[in-house]
Amino acid sequence: MPLFKRDPRKKLQKSYHQKLEAAMHAMRNGDIRTNAELTAEAEAIKAQLDQLG
Instruction: Give the global pTM.
Output: 0.83
Distance CA 40, CA 23 (A): 10
Kindly give the parts of the chain with pLDDT less than 70: 1-2
Q: What's the pLDDT at 18? A: 97
Distance CA 25, CA 20 (A): 9
- The tens digit of pLDDT for each residue in 2-14 reads 677 788 899 999 9
Q: What's the pLDDT at 5? A: 78
Q: What's the pLDDT at 2? A: 63
